[in-house]
Amino acid sequence: MSLIEIHSLIKRYKNKLAVDSLTLDINEGEIFGLLGPNGAGKSTTINILMGLIKANGGNVLINGLDISKNSLEAKQLMGLVPQDIAIYESLSAQDNVKFFGSLYDLKGADLNLKAKKSLEFVGLLDKAKDKPKTFSGGMKRRLNIACAIIHQPKIVIMDEATVGIDPQSRNHILEAVKELNRQGSTIIYTSHYMDEVDALCNKIGIMDHGKLIACGEKNEIKKLSKTDEILNIEATDIRYNPIKELKNLPGVKNVSINENTIKVISTRGQSILQDALFILSRSDVRVKSITLKEPDLESVFLSLTGRNLRD
């Protein structure tokens, strides 16, 4: 079921099209990765979803609500972790979270309890009374998440949530995203870090110059790459040369043997694996290990646009 429906969305700044006829459906329960370089239109799309800016054309439905007509009701369903940290340095961590909770009409004991749970979720409960000006960049990012989830939104939008932070905080945030999803939140995760999107997301959209240039399940997206797959088979007892037989497999471009490693370059490494193992076992070659290097999201983006993601 589509929780978010975007139809023919357009956003124009003077003569520049920041979002160009974007159509996209995001289903309930997904971790949807929106991938693209800086300036691709990701943040503009998010700001339109959140009702922070108005589109010049098209429409957006959040859980069936048209955001142009039901903006307040739609906002109640969403929590935003923005690219730029949005907290008050002069307030304590718990007062920051409670302030944002009050914007969603949380009050009294309910507000206090949910603020405590939010801080506990991001690992900052022991810093509840401390002010963010004493926090590291990673701790501030985690506090931002606590502020975004206090009202237990159906949709959590994370816009470049790990920019400029230490590895420990980055890992904490990535685990928090997975846990929020396990608890029932649909996640939109925008990033130009491909490894994060690859690790987290089950569905991916790729934007460039305001357009959605690819969208689908992660494994399907990777198939769009023109990069070959490399199958390395470490083996012993290679008493014969299997190159000719392996080269005859569909999609195989090259086969080489270096000492105890057989290297197969193919357009379809995963699908030929069983056939390759059969050929080797038939000749009593003992396989010790297998590694398959598949196309990654960077190679997909390069194939689709002719440039690297961070160019």
pLDDT digits over 99-113, tens only? 999 999 999 999 999
Distance CA 161, CA 65 (A): 26
Q: Can you state the angle between helices 93-103 and 137-149, rounded to 10 degrees? A: 30
C-alpha to C-alpha distance for 245 and 229, rounded to whole angstroms: 18
pTM reported for the whole predicted model = 0.80
Contact 268, 280 (CB under 8 A): no
- Whether 285 has a pLDDT exceeding 60, the answer reads yes
pLDDT of residue 10: 96
Place 97 in a pLDDT band, splitting at 50, 70 and 90. Answer: very high
Question: What domains can be seen in the chain, in order of their start residue?
Answer: 2-224 (3.40.50.300), 229-294 (3.30.70.100)
- Look at phi and psi of residue 69 and say left if phi exceeds 0, alpha if psi is from -120 to 50, else beta: alpha
> What distances in angstroms separate CA 310 from CA 37, 39, 40, 193, 301, one per listed residue?
6, 11, 11, 9, 10
What does the pLDDT read at residue 241?
73
> Which residues make Cβ contacts (< 8 Å) with residue 227, sequence separation at least 6?
295, 299, 302, 303
* CB of 233 closer than 8 Å to CB of 292: no
- Residue-wise pLDDT for 117-176, tens only, equals 999 999 999 999 999 999 988 999 999 999 999 999 999 999 888 888 888 888 888 999
pLDDT confidence bin for 270, thresholds 50/70/90: low
